Amino acid sequence: MKNITRRKFNKIMGTFGTVSALETLGRGPTLLLAAERHVVVVGGGFGGATAAKYLRLMDPNLKVTLVEPRRSYFTYPFSNQVLGGMKTMEELTYSYKNLQRKYGINVIHVAAARINAVSKTVLLQDGKSLTFDRIIVAPGIDMRFDQIENYKPEDTDFIPHAWKGRSATLRLLQQLESMPNGGIVLICPPALPYRCPPAPYERASLVAHYLSQHKPRSKILILDAKEQFPKQALFSAGWKSLYGRMIEWFNGSAGGLILRADAKNMTVETEFGIEKGDVINLIPAQWAGRIARASGLSDESGWCPVDQLTFESTLLPGIHVIGDSAIAGVMPKSGFSANNQAKVTAAAVIALLKGKEPTSYSISNTCYSFLAPDYAIYVTAEYQLSGRELVKIKGSGGVSPLNVDLSVRHSEAVSAQRWYDSITQDMFG
The answer to whether residue 264 forms part of the interface with another protein (CB under 8 A) is no
Angle between helices 166-178 and 199-214 (to 10 degrees): 30
382 binds another protein (CB under 8 A): yes
Peptide bond into 317 cis (omega under 30): no
Query: Interface with another protein includes 364 (CB under 8 A)?
Result: yes
Answer for which of 72, 98, 251, 380 binds another protein (CB under 8 A) is 380
Q: How many CB atoms lie within 10 A of CB 336?
A: 21
Q: Rounded to the nearest whole angstrom, what is the least distance from the CB of residue 425 to another protein in the complex? A: 13
Q: Is the dihedral of CA 245, 247, 251, 257 positive or negative?
A: positive
Residue type at 392? Answer: K
CA atoms within 13 A on the CB side of 48: 27
Name the minimum Å distance from CB 215 to another protein: 33
Distance CA 136, CA 39 (A): 8
Considering only the stretches 239-247, 258-266, 275-283, 375-383, report the one whose residues sit in contact with another protein under the rule CB under 8 A.
375-383
Residue 416: CB minimum distance to another protein, A: 10
Q: How far apart are CA 90 and CA 401, in angstroms?
A: 33
**Segment near another protein (CB under 8 A); pick from 4-12, 44-52, 78-86, 301-309:** 4-12
| Cα distances (Å, whole numbers) of residue 71 to 68, 89, 90, 95, 342 | 8, 15, 13, 7, 21
Contact between 255 and 223 (Cβ < 8 Å): yes
Amino acid identity, position 99: L
How far apart are the C-alpha atoms of 57 and 45, rounded to whole Å? Answer: 18
> By C-beta, is 1 or 35 nearer to another protein?
1
Stretch that binds another protein, among 42-50, 58-66, 173-181, 389-397 (CB under 8 A): 389-397
- How do 319-321 and 219-223 pair as beta strands? unpaired
Binding mask of the shown chain, residues 5 to 24, with x at each position contacting another protein by CB under 8 A:
---xx--x--xx--------
Q: Is 25 in the site for another protein (CB under 8 A)?
A: no
Q: Name the strand (E) or helix (H) holding 414.
A: helix 406-428
- Single out the segment in contact with another protein by CB under 8 A; choices: 19-27, 62-70, 255-263, 362-370: 362-370
Cβ proximity to another protein, 147 vs 415, nearer residue = 415
202 binding another protein? (CB under 8 A)? no
Q: How far is the CB of 171 from another protein (least distance, A)?
A: 34
Number of H helices, E strands in the chain: 10, 26
The smaller minimum CB distance to another protein, of residues 13 and 123, is found at 13
Decide if residue 1 touches another protein (CB under 8 A).
Answer: yes
> Residues 218, 270, 362, 369: which binds another protein (CB under 8 A)?
362
Q: How many residues does the chain have?
A: 429
Smallest distance, Å, CB 123 to another protein? 42
Secondary element (H or E) of residue 141: strand 141-143
**394-423: which residues touch another protein (CB under 8 A)?**
394-398, 400, 408, 411-412, 415
Is there binding between residue 424 and another protein (CB under 8 A)? no
Among candidates 192, 186, 191, which has minimal Cα distance to 172? 186
Selected binder of another protein within 74, 78, 378, 428 (CB under 8 A)? 378
76 binds another protein (CB under 8 A): no
Please identify, among the stretches 196-204, 245-253, 353-361, 390-398, the one whose residues bind another protein according to the rule CB under 8 A: 390-398
Query: Which CB, 88 or 411, lies closer to another protein?
Result: 411
Among 366, 373, 385, 417, binds another protein (CB under 8 A): 366
CB pairs under 8 A, 24+ apart, for 308-314? 308/385, 308/388, 308/389, 308/390, 309/348, 309/358, 309/360, 309/385, 309/388, 310/345, 310/348, 310/349, 310/352, 310/358, 311/136, 311/341, 311/344, 311/345, 311/348, 312/348, 312/352
Q: How many residues bind another protein (CB under 8 A)?
A: 27
Q: Which residues lie across from 107 on neighbouring strands?
A: 66
Pick between residue 2 and residue 264 the one whose CB is nearest to another protein: 2
- Contacting residues toward another protein, per CB under 8 A: 1-4, 8-9, 12, 15-16, 362, 364, 366, 378, 380-382, 393-398, 400, 408, 411-412, 415
